Structure 1
Amino acid sequence: MMSASEKAKAKTEQVKGTVKKQAGRTVGNDSKAAEGQGEKSKGDLRSAKEKAKDAFDD
């Protein structure tokens, strides 16, 4: 089962990345927007990894 701490970490990265990406776009800072997208992607990957673990545990 997906551990609560890993799930929370994934969600935090996704939200933080999305906020940073939008803030970067709003002020025209492409590098900040790219950094935000990277963080969101990292959170997406963490979430996918945990879901895959859950699938194999069943």
Structure 2
Amino acid sequence: MNTDQVKGALKEVAGKVQQKTGEVINSPEQQVKGVAKQVEGNVQKNYGDAKEAVKDAQK
């Protein structure tokens, strides 16, 4: 695992928490920010996965 995979996964989790918190407190703004953070985390995790695949292919 590389840092992009870890950071991306953490952002996804943080985004889910933020989204659920927004639902609980009835804050559409927090819900949207949470979803955006999830997407950002997913992109970063996928980037890390791709880097790892390239690294593995070079071996």
Same fold (TM over 0.5): yes
Quote the RMSD (CA, aligned, Å).
Answer: 1.0
Q: Which residue of 1 aligns with 2:45?
A: 40
CA deviations 1:12-35 (Å, max 9, x no partner) are 000000000100011101010000
Percent identical across equivalent pairs?
36
Structure number with bigger Rg: 2
User: TM-score when scaled to structure 2?
Assistant: 0.73
Aligned equivalents of 1:31, 1:11: Cα separation in 2: 22
Segments of 5+ residues of structure 1 without an aligned counterpart are 1-9
Query: How many residue pairs get matched?
Result: 45
Segments of 5+ residues of structure 2 without an aligned counterpart are 20-33
Find runs of 4+ consecutive structure 1 residues off by over 6 angstroms.
none
User: TM-score when scaled to structure 1?
Assistant: 0.74
- 1:30 and 2:54 correspond: no
